[in-house]
Amino acid sequence: MFQNHPLLAQLKKNLHAKTPRVEGIVKSTERGFGFLEIDAQKSYFIPPKNMKKVMHGDKIIALLKIEKDREIIEPEKLIEPFLNKFVGKIEKRDHKLFIIPDYPMLKDLIICQNDTNYINTLQNGDWVVARLTKHKLNGNNFFYAELIEKIIKKDDPLTPWWVTLARHNLARKEPLANKDDFILKENYYRQDLTNLDFITIDNSHTKDIDDALFINQTSDEGFSLIVAIADPTAYIKNDSKLDLIAYQRSFTNYLPGFNIPMLPRVLSEDICSLNPNVRRPVLACHINILKDGNISNTTKFFLAWIKSKAKLSYEHVSDWIEKSGIWKPPNKTIENQILYLHRLCLLRIQWRLKNAVLFKDNLEYRFHFSENGKIVDIFAEKRRIAHKIVEEAMIVANISAANFLSKNLGFGIYNIHSGFDYSNAENVVAFLKNYNLNFTVQEIITLKGFCKLRRVLNVLSNNYIDSRIRRFQSFGDFSTVPAPHFALGFSEYATWTSPIRKYSDMINHRLLKSIINKEKSIKPSEEIKLKISEQRRRNRIAEREISDWLYTIFLQKKEQRNKKFKAEIIDIVRNGIRARLIENGANVFIPGVFLHKIREELTFDQEMGKVFINGIMYYKVSDFIYVTLSEIRLETRSIIAKPED
């Protein structure tokens, strides 16, 4: 009799209004229940029945209730779904399509809205892009998704690349263009330097060659260096269709096995590429380096024509300098160019050791693939002397460009690094005191003080201390106005030496040209800076995810499963250790259960990067340990390892 009584309805409404509400992010578990994470310190339990209304990662408002003397969450309102546009695998059941999102914590099937074309063309395991269209918290009985496009068939060797690129909305192919579209769009005066013996040094397989070098020794024991850089902006008008494409991509995306160029290959690998014995337009910089390694203030930027006399490889040049292998320079002139560049390199390295920052070389890893795209092996590569020769020349050129832009314009696209913020600097100073290294906060937040600290750490050569200090450092960024680059140790730094591969370098090319030709210069907007920064971040994430996927495929091979690997501990997390295999570079996770059977006796100190058992330190970041592989999870692209005695 009271079912529709207005007073009872009002009472229920009042009680509902008084129920406390909280806002947070849903975190699911493999056991069906979940938690609503309010912040880093606070979370509430979500029972399995209520987890069926939401997905891992959803941002929601929920009712906070008491059930059996325990605070629980009842989802009420969706603020932002975790899934919007996403990738996943198709599953067919009873002539209906379902999609399983490619996320570790999302394992439930989502119903695909009917589309007869997709039903007839898609098979179990095919990869697609979809968009979530209906969510249970919005009053629907089921989750629904709309298929947008097919990515690739099940078990195609290119799956790791295409799926990852689709997930991050990154281009999968080069920009389309015809060779006839590219004619020189400028009629500026260019100096004819085709008689000079420019050389290029790159990987043997490199096709997009963007820098050439010519060097002489001066009478006062210094060096006269001309850095010539390929000039794509001579063919691409500002704000043109192709310029917009380059802006959207921002970088050539270098991935394991191949790259996806920022510009059409016909331009980057042919028309602009500084291939040997062909006449090419360049933006050049003439730099004098004094005998003490300092850069003279007589630097000059200009437009020119050059003709490279030799395409050399890092491997051959390094072998010859190190007196190994059978390769020799093709003639005496090329030999002298290599010798002078080598001397300049050593001079600049010594200068940077005393005046700037020089980091230790890290191993790099290269994937080797068969003709059909399957991974065959992974090789460790160390940077050799020829790599350093080119690197030092490019650093000199980029310092010169930054100074030139600052002096003439006061803006450009600068690469910056701010060292430590104030609070992190306090942590660094406190940490260093434990090792009798005395610095002040005011000292290390300056460029000079930061460089001094880095040089002290280089001499100390303690990998643990070095790793802890790096945790406190800021990340690199871009700026439209001059600012220091602490990590390199320079008061300003602006790259212009890779315009085929970086849109920021194309911008700096146009600004340098505007100064040379005394034309109006337009300051890059903050929007451009943010776009370039975001695109770089997405490219790096994609490269890392593809590598992780390839590692799981490679290490599933029988010959890898029972091997003992040497590994370096790279991080301590709240429930285990992250380490990197020295042989191939794979990242592995070592759960706490493999370190010690009694969890209560284990302490993971993430801040200090150490693991304690019963108060005794057993592991720390930078330690080398031996591990074997315990489990490889292809679905999550993760590798579980256990330590060996």
Domain annotation for the chain: domains and CATH numbers = 18-80 (2.40.50.140), 85-156 (2.40.50.640), 179-416+487-545 (no CATH), 422-473 (no CATH), 557-643 (2.40.50.140)
Q: What is the DSSP string of 341-375?
A: HHHHHHHHHHHHHHHS--PPP--EEEEEE-TTS-E
Q: Is the pLDDT of residue 16 over 70?
A: no
Answer for the pair 411, 405: CB distance below 8 angstroms, yes or no.
Answer: yes
Q: What's the token pair of residue 107?
A: 């394992």
Q: Is the pLDDT of residue 19 over 70?
A: yes
Tell me which long-range contacts 133-140 makes (C-beta under 8 A, separation of at least 24).
Answer: 135/58, 135/78, 135/81, 136/52, 136/53, 136/54, 137/53, 137/54, 137/58, 137/60, 137/75, 137/76, 137/77, 137/78, 138/78
Say how far apart CA 156 and CA 159 lie, in whole Å.
5
Band the pLDDT of 9: cuts 50, 70, 90.
low
Beta strand pairing call for 310-313 and 199-202: parallel
The stretch 446-460 carries a mean pLDDT of: 94
What pLDDT sits at residue 1? 47
What pLDDT sits at residue 560? 84
Least confident of 66-75, 168-177, 528-537, 538-547: 66-75
Cite the active site residues: 202, 208, 210-211, 314, 501
Sign of the C-alpha dihedral computed for residues 339, 341, 344 and 350 taken in this order: negative
Answer for the pair 611, 620: CB distance below 8 angstroms, yes or no.
Answer: yes
Residue 392 CB neighbours (<10 A) = 21
- Measured CA distances, 7 to 2, 18, 131, 341, 599 (Å): 9, 17, 44, 91, 55
Say how far apart CA 396 and CA 398 lie, in whole Å.
6
Please report, to the nearest 10 degrees, the dihedral formed by the alpha carbons of residues 240, 241, 242, 248 taken in order.
110
Q: What is the mean pLDDT of the chain?
A: 92
- pLDDT tens-digit series, residues 182-210: 888 888 999 999 999 999 999 999 999 99
Q: What is the pTM of this model?
A: 0.90
- pLDDT tens-digit series, residues 229-269: 999 999 999 999 999 999 999 999 999 998 999 999 999 99
